[in-house]
Copies of this chain bind each other. A is one copy, B any other.
C-alpha cells in the first residue's frame, strides 16, 4: 500500500475499469473522474458509477464538459455510428468517432484536480492497439503530456516531485486486458462498451467498440457478460 492519492479517468468501459483495478492493486487511494461530454446516452456514466462503487473508490466525480458545441465527432454529433467494419477498415484512418482533443481535455481536468488534492499519479486506460488511428492514444503523446504537465503545475515546479501519467494498458491487447482485469476481480458485467446502445441499455454488438470487445473476450477464452441487442446477428 502506498497510501498516496491517484486520479483515475473512468469511462465505465473495459480499459478504464481495468486501469482502476490496477491503480487500486498498487495501493493508491483512488479518486475517479468521469466526464459527461455530450454523449448521446447516460449508460456509460451509470457503468462508471457501478465500477467506482464496486471498488470503493475514495471519491467519484462527474465533470460536465460541453464538447457537443464543438462538433467534429460521431460520438457527440448526430452522425451515424459505423457498424460491421472489419479491423483493416477500422484501423485505416482516424475514425469518425474520434473526439477532437478529448484525452488532452480529460487529462487537463485531472491535472487540475491532482494539484488540489495533492496527487502525483494520474491513470488512464488509453490503448494504442485498438485504435491506432487516434493520435491521442499513442505512447509518445502520453510522454509529451507528462512533460508538459510537470512544467504546468506547482507539483512539477516547486515540490521536486514529478507528476506521472500512467497508461498501463497502452500496448496491451484486449484479451490481455480482460485476463488482467479478471485477476484483479473486475466484474465486466458492470462495464459498458457500446457506442450506440439501445434505450434499454443493450449493446448493439456491431459498432467498432462492441466488435473489439467481443473479439477480446473470444481471444481470452472467457464469456462476455454483455447483453447484446440482437443475439442472432451479434453473437459471432
Contacts and interface: CB of A to CB of B under 8 A. Distances in A.
Interface of A: 61, 63-64, 66-67, 69-72, 94, 98-105, 107-109, 111-113, 115-116, 135-136, 138, 140-141, 144-145, 147-149, 151-154, 156-158
A101 B94 contact: no
B64 A63 contact: no
Contacts of A111: 100-101, 104
B112 A101 contact: yes
A2 B162 CA distance: 41
Contacts of A156: 135
B115 A100 contact: yes
26 contacts: A61-B69, A70-B113, A94-B154, A94-B157, A98-B154, A100-B112, A100-B115, A100-B153, A101-B112, A101-B152, A101-B153, A104-B152, A105-B105, A105-B108, A135-B152, A135-B158, A136-B151, A136-B153, A138-B151, A141-B151, A141-B152, A144-B147, A144-B151, A145-B148, A145-B152, A147-B148
Contact of A104 (B70, B144, B149): B149
Contacts of A147: 144, 147-148
A78 B147 CA distance: 32
Given A70-B112, A104-B108, 19 more contacts: A61-B69, A94-B154, A100-B113, A100-B154, A101-B108, A101-B111, A101-B152, A102-B112, A103-B152, A104-B111, A104-B148, A105-B105, A105-B108, A105-B112, A135-B151, A135-B153, A145-B152, A147-B147, A148-B148
Could you say how many copies of this chain the assembly holds? Answer: 2
Contacts of A153: 100-101, 135-136
Contact of A135 (B64, B70, B116, B154): B154
A157 B100 CA distance: 12
